[in-house]
Structure 1
Amino acid sequence: MKRQIHSTALRRIIAVTAGAGTMALLAGCAGGGSSQGPETELDGFDWKNFEGTELNLLMSEHPFSNAIKERVPEFEELTGIDVNLETLTETDYMVKLLTELQSGAGSYDAFMTSQPMNFQYAAAGWIEDLQPWVDDDTRTAPDWDFEDFYPALIDSLRWDKTEFGGAGEGELWAIPVNEEGYSLFYRTDVLEEFGVEPPETIDELVAAAAELDGKTFDGKEISGFVSRGDKTYPTLNPFSTFVLGHGVQDIVDGKAGVNSPEGIAAAEDWVELMQYAPDAASTYTWYEAQQDFIAGNAAMYIDADHMAPDFEKSAIGGNVGYGLPPEGPAGRGSSMWVWSLGMNADSPNKDAAWQFIQWASSKESLTEAITAGNMNPTRVSVGQGDEMAAATEGWGDYNEIWQEILSDHAEWAYTPSAAWPEVGDIWTTELQAAVLEQKTAQEAMDDAAAQIDQLIEE
């Protein structure tokens, strides 16, 4: 699985972290660790300042890590730092990284991470606050340009671990290198054939899915819609467009808000929409949903916007429209997933690790990574650059839509906590029960809220 955290790996992380006090972490209690920022003085920035250091890095197999791995010799020549970069399948990487961080041995100096991982690692004191490094002009290259990152991405990687919630505030736990928001995809040829306009709102989306469901196109019967339905928290990624469209808050004043009137309305709309998806969609992860859409079996689909390369190189290429997340009573919204680079708080080589992080997240590195399929760039200058325009030529409005989602509609949609994946699993398990018509949407959301409240109380 190349884009989302594997749910099995996350469950193993949650299980182990719970033994160290996950419930305390849910309330925002800080752990130990040695995240203290730079400790020695330098005369000024120089890429050769830490020549002779040996770095050990761990990353998930991903277009970004593939691109960086090819260019490691350039970094070694620039800095005189020797790099050992290990990449593993996502599940193996997640488990190994957790084990290494728990040991406190500092075996890996830097690693790939993401928002839920940051919450867990920061609460336990395993990951370094990078803001002091950003602010130190003796350690940060003068042309690195921190202000060039999309502000929403930087906000999503900030969290005050001493506060319940605190999204977009406090320490900076990682530097973004890959982003995805959530877009409405639709088959332009299918909609044109049946005279259906691309939907702009949640109500229009449900109506269009009902209109198109069961139609025959290109010799096969199609469903009106498809998306993830698996009972694990990654299903919240596409569902986040309904969550934010209805103005739902998962936690309000320390209590679950998933069964608020807005939460129930979001669930009811999603449940109705999923009735026009294949029966098996209630168990789909992103992979099965994507393959269903690529196979031409569905007219519309909500998921990660950077799936576009997979669509465009398939048989449906040239016939996919890219739309903003559907508008609800509270407007448009999309959560986001941000692959990033973090520093081990126990690393003995923090200065060299920071040089690698800023080099790997530089304008040049992110531009080079486009050709390896690292969509979407996390810097404004790269996202709006010629290379990105060339790479997405012929993809309809994709290059404009993903940037509009990121600039105007994307945010981390949920309350940060070390146990957030558990909260997400509870929510999506009950949402699946409603989709399967085992419960009403209100019953499902009430049950989810009761379980989440119990989790918080514990």
Structure 2
Amino acid sequence: MEAKMARGKFFAVLCVSLLMFSVSSFLMAGKKDAPEKEKPAVEVKEGEWPRYPGAKVNFLWYPSPEMEAIKKLLPEFEELTGIEVTLSELPHEDVFKKRMMDAVSGAGEFDIYPLQPSVTRNFADSGYILPLDDFWSSPAEVEYDDIFEGVRTMYEYKGKVYGLSLYPDVLMLFYNKKMMDDAGQPIPDTFEEFEKVSKSFMKDTDGDGKIDQWGSVLNLKGGDWSLMLNFALFMYMNNGDWFGGQIGADNPVSAGDPMYMHAMLDDKKAIEAYSYLVKLYKDQVFMPGSITFSFFEAMETFAIGKVPTYIGFADQAPMILGPDSLVKGDVRVAPVPTWKGVRRSFTGGWGASISSKSEDPEAAYTFLRYFYGNVENQKKLSKFGQTPSRASILFDPELQKEFVWYEGMGEMLNYVKPIPIIPEFEEYVTGLEPFLTEVLLGRMTVEESMMQSNKLLDDILIRAGYQK
């Protein structure tokens, strides 16, 4: 009986196996006989853009000045190349989810992904995006060296380039020239000077015995990267790093070094840096409300004339200095003051990359090259609201007359250093900022905060498999 049942199972399995093999063979045969999808003909004439008649490119991003700038040049691009472009605009928080779903599923709905520096490594290793090197004959094809080095490196990995910058983040010093001139105060070039200038504006303007005017404001709110980024500003000026092996590190560590991918926040450079930022806050160099301010709340405080100076982002410049600005008075920009003789800023921002599942990757590359790899088109985009990443644009004398912040922004981009380019860094910031806030509230020492932050970062690096 058992032998009969065993034979029955055997023949049943055999029949199923034969059936599966037959179906598989049929499908494979059909697939083999099916002709490959015919690619659009590429017509290239000297001095003209390659044409891809019938090709389609779908670019995923969120509504932004950069997206509005693209729309201005899009009809010209489509006419020149024959490429039909869809701009898929989603709310900021939905872009991340939609991109990840498309990449993981391999659906190929989008040809061009927005790319944060922190996910470049992960997306490249996972095969979600294609290296641009596979498309160009040389980096000169996208005028690559014209992009600031600190911006370029955020989208490079293992000797390959995976994205072109949409726009960079960099800090600058905004100041109200009228308020500074009326007070007879110079534009500070060092943080020691900045402290003196800021404290000189501390006043009781209504005579109630309480200070109600300060010299500056800074976004020090925990929970939205504000506090972490301003800590990074001073740590970078103190030549400190988050961990060994960080891209753009001031203290390079090779893969064989014991400190490779180990946290470095217990180092005296990090401790000194945060101690100084805490001192500035407690001395009211930045107004007391700064601990609750996000980026835009700090900017608004400066815009309505409550303080004469503000350390903010370059992409806020159009809102502060543009034609629709709410700022009263003559606002100017300058590089961020130096600390310990070093001028430095972190950088971040967004890039654009090509999905590995794009049906028209050559057309997608042509889109990137046209909008982000061509200086003349970048100049046009800058006039429509694009924040440039290129030296030739930011240092263009004619453009500087129209966009008065370009010179200061260009100078700062010479000194930038990226925030860590690992996807786990976002998780780390979520845990880091509460420790930093506890110090500002007087409930933890700087040393305790840095030790806890260091342990947290090491735990994350170990769990992610970076430490061997």
Question: Which TM-score applies when normalising by structure 2?
Answer: 0.77
Residue identity opposite 2:348 in structure 1: W
| Counterpart contact for 1:215–1:223, Cα < 8 Å | no
| Counterpart contact for 1:237–1:336, Cα < 8 Å | no
| Counterpart contact for 2:305–2:328, Cα < 8 Å | no
1:245 alignment counterpart: 237
Residue identity opposite 1:246 in structure 2: N
Residue 242 (structure 1) shift: 0.9
| Counterpart contact for 2:220–2:226, Cα < 8 Å | no
Q: Deviations 1:123-172 (Å, cap 9, x if unpaired)?
A: 433222112323x26xx9x8643333233321232133xxxxxxxxx221
* Aligned-partner SS, 1:247: coil
Equivalent of 2:376, from 336, 360, 364? Answer: 364
| Counterpart contact for 2:241–2:265, Cα < 8 Å | yes
Residue 452 (structure 1) shift: 1.1
Distance change (3 Å), C-alpha of 1:154 and 1:262 = same
* Aligned-partner SS, 1:255: coil
1:332 alignment counterpart: 343
Distance change (3 Å), C-alpha of 1:146 and 1:41 = farther
| Counterpart contact for 2:52–2:83, Cα < 8 Å | yes
* Aligned-partner SS, 1:336: strand
2:76 alignment counterpart: 74
Question: Does 1:286 find its partner at 2:284?
Answer: no
Matches within 5 A, 1:139-150: 144-150=142-148
Moved more, 276-285 or 173-182: 276-285
Matches within 5 A, 1:418-457: 418-457=423-462
CA distance in 2, matches of 1:227, 1:370: 27
Equivalent of 2:162, from 164, 169, 173? Answer: 173
Q: Percent identity among equivalent residues?
A: 22
Residue 54 (structure 1) shift: 1.5
Matches within 5 A, 1:162-241: 170-214=159-203, 216=205, 221-231=212-222, 232-241=224-233
1:304 alignment counterpart: 313
Tell which structure's C-alpha radius of gyration is larger.
Answer: 2
1:402 alignment counterpart: 409
Residue 244 (structure 1) shift: 1.4
| Counterpart contact for 1:250–1:256, Cα < 8 Å | yes
Moved more, 241-250 or 199-208: 199-208
Question: Does 1:383 find its partner at 2:372?
Answer: no
| Counterpart contact for 2:59–2:86, Cα < 8 Å | yes
CA distance in 1, matches of 2:271, 2:440: 13
1:411 alignment counterpart: 417
| Counterpart contact for 2:44–2:50, Cα < 8 Å | no
CA distance in 2, matches of 1:411, 1:281: 25
* Residue ranges of structure 2 left out of the alignment (5+ in a row): 1-38, 245-258, 464-468
Q: Deviations 1:290-337 (Å, cap 9, x if unpaired)?
A: 111112122322121232222224353543342222212261111112
* Aligned-partner SS, 1:348: coil
CA distance in 1, matches of 2:172, 2:459: 33
Matches within 5 A, 1:102-181: 102-134=104-136, 136=137, 144-160=142-158, 170-181=159-170
Residue identity opposite 1:117 in structure 2: V
Distance change (3 Å), C-alpha of 1:198 and 1:260 = same
1:27 alignment counterpart: none
CA distance in 2, matches of 1:149, 1:259: 34
Residue 352 (structure 1) shift: 0.8
* Aligned-partner SS, 2:352: strand
Question: Does 1:343 find its partner at 2:335?
Answer: no
Q: Deviations 1:250-280 (Å, cap 9, x if unpaired)?
A: 1132222123111111101111222323444
* Aligned-partner SS, 1:316: coil
CA distance in 2, matches of 1:214, 1:445: 34
CA distance in 1, matches of 2:335, 2:92: 29
Question: Which TM-score applies when normalising by structure 1?
Answer: 0.79
Let me know the Cα RMSD of the aligned residues: 2.8
Equivalent of 1:262, from 247, 263, 269? Answer: 269
1:16 alignment counterpart: none
2:253 alignment counterpart: none
Residue 344 (structure 1) shift: 0.8
Residue 42 (structure 1) shift: 8.1
Residue identity opposite 1:152 in structure 2: G
Equivalent of 2:90, from 88, 91, 96? Answer: 88
CA distance in 2, matches of 1:419, 1:98: 15
1:19 alignment counterpart: none
Residue 191 (structure 1) shift: 3.2
Q: Deviations 1:214-265 (Å, cap 9, x if unpaired)?
A: 4539x99322321122224344334432121111111132222123111111
1:24 alignment counterpart: none
1:10 alignment counterpart: none
| Counterpart contact for 1:123–1:418, Cα < 8 Å | no
CA distance in 1, matches of 2:212, 2:289: 15
CA distance in 1, matches of 2:341, 2:428: 23
* Residue ranges of structure 1 left out of the alignment (5+ in a row): 1-38, 161-169
Distance change (3 Å), C-alpha of 1:203 and 1:258 = farther
* Aligned-partner SS, 1:335: strand
